[in-house]
Amino acid sequence: MIDTSTAHSVEPPDPGRPGHHPHRQVLLLGVVGLALTVFAASGYLVLAVGLAPDPAGRGRVDEQHAPAAPPTPITYWPSAATTGVPAGTTLRDSGSLNLRTAGQVVSGLNIVGCVTVAAANVQILRSRITCNSTTYSIRTLPGTSKLLIQDVEINGMGMNSASICCSDYTLNRGNVYNTIDGPRLSTNTRILNSYIHDLARVGASHNDTLQSTGGNNILVQHNTLQPYNPVTKDPFNSCLTIGSETAPSLTNLTYQDNYCDGGNYSIGISPNLVGSNLVFRNNKYGRDYRYGVVSGWTHPGVLWSRPTNVYFDNGQPVV
């Protein structure tokens, strides 16, 4: 507390000094002392102390409760403005495609229909796909390897069980929406710099923006994964659900630098998962989930970085 005991100790009056009023000086110093006491009691350290006010009234900000890292602007992650068909691109109308020639490149198409791929090094670029199949907008068949899907918009018409299935492809700068599930992740798949959002609720569907039920060598990096619907307040099921139901195991998956908001659990990890080297690091999470950010983060094979899987709004670890 600031000492105010000398507030009433003043100089003897000097009758020869014009305007010298000892009683007023005593009153003024008393008021100042009272004010300093009130400020100190309110948690405001003043004058030479130089510390910021503590809202809790302790006189010092508790560094243990300060954010671990400043929030990253939401514009850091992909959106409709940075994914899909680039602005100004002229599109030519097309029906469904069956791509079976190695190295084939299709670009600048407005595809009303679905796409099947069964060849190596095929590229689908700068195109829009509007597919009402109850299976997939893009399907990879045996013979596919290193398929590149880039600057593509996929509208699943509220019908696709998944937008892309299932292996040997890279999706870069994709804008994927209006589908029950987003891309399925199996062996040799990469989801990069993409925006997956506005899933389609169909009956009691368990919608995931991404899902893997087994495979190897999977990378999910720098995406906006948004199962939560702010209009209907529906969190859907997850940003990413992983298991090993359709393969012996799930191995070598890295999930990093993503923004995720929504889900029953934002990250769903099956209790029956058989997996190894499943890395989760440097991700930010919103709070529009139903139960929590992650289930099963201590499951064998899961490498969950607690310091770097944090809430978007304050940088604090989610578990």
Q: Are 235 and 208 in contact (CB under 8 A)?
A: no
| The total number of structural domains that make up the chain | 2
Q: Check whether residue 258 and residue 190 sit in a common domain.
A: yes
Which domain-ending residue is among 18, 45, 66?
66
- Is the pTM for the entire model greater than 0.85? no
The verdict on residue 104 lying in a domain is: yes
Query: What confidence tens digit (pLDDT) does each residue in 72-108 have?
Result: 999 999 999 999 999 999 999 999 999 999 999 999 9
Q: Check whether residue 49 and residue 183 sit in a common domain.
A: no
Q: Check whether residue 189 and residue 241 sit in a common domain.
A: yes
Q: Check whether residue 24 and residue 94 sit in a common domain.
A: no
Q: Are 281 and 308 in contact (CB under 8 A)?
A: yes
Q: Check whether residue 256 and residue 213 sit in a common domain.
A: yes
The verdict on residue 317 lying in a domain is: no
Strands, sheet with 292-295, edge to edge from the N-terminal-most edge strand? 208-212, 238-242, 265-269, 292-295
Q: Are 199 and 209 in contact (CB under 8 A)?
A: yes
The verdict on residue 157 lying in a domain is: yes
The verdict on residue 111 lying in a domain is: yes
Say which residue the tokens 């609720």 belong to.
201
Q: Domain containing 307: what range?
A: 74-311
* pLDDT of 5 higher than 90: no
Q: Check whether residue 59 and residue 99 sit in a common domain.
A: no
Lowest-pLDDT range of 40-44, 93-97, 256-260:
40-44
Q: Check whether residue 36 and residue 56 sit in a common domain.
A: yes
Q: Check whether residue 57 and residue 81 sit in a common domain.
A: no
Which domain-ending residue is among 14, 37, 66?
66
Query: What confidence tens digit (pLDDT) does each residue in 177-227 have?
Result: 999 999 999 999 999 999 999 999 998 899 999 999 999 999 999 999 999
Q: Check whether residue 44 and residue 88 sit in a common domain.
A: no
- φ, ψ at 205 (rounded to 5°): -60, 145
Give the whole-angstrom CA distance, residue 260 versus residue 246.
Answer: 25
Q: Check whether residue 45 and residue 171 sit in a common domain.
A: no
Query: What confidence tens digit (pLDDT) does each residue in 103-150 have?
Result: 999 999 999 999 999 999 999 999 999 999 999 999 999 999 999 999
Outline where DSSP puts E strands in 105-159.
105-107, 109-112, 115-117, 123-130, 136-140, 147-155
Q: Check whether residue 175 and residue 304 sit in a common domain.
A: yes
Q: Check whether residue 267 and residue 235 sit in a common domain.
A: yes
The verdict on residue 193 lying in a domain is: yes
For 166: left if phi > 0, alpha if psi spans -120 to 50, otherwise beta; the answer is alpha
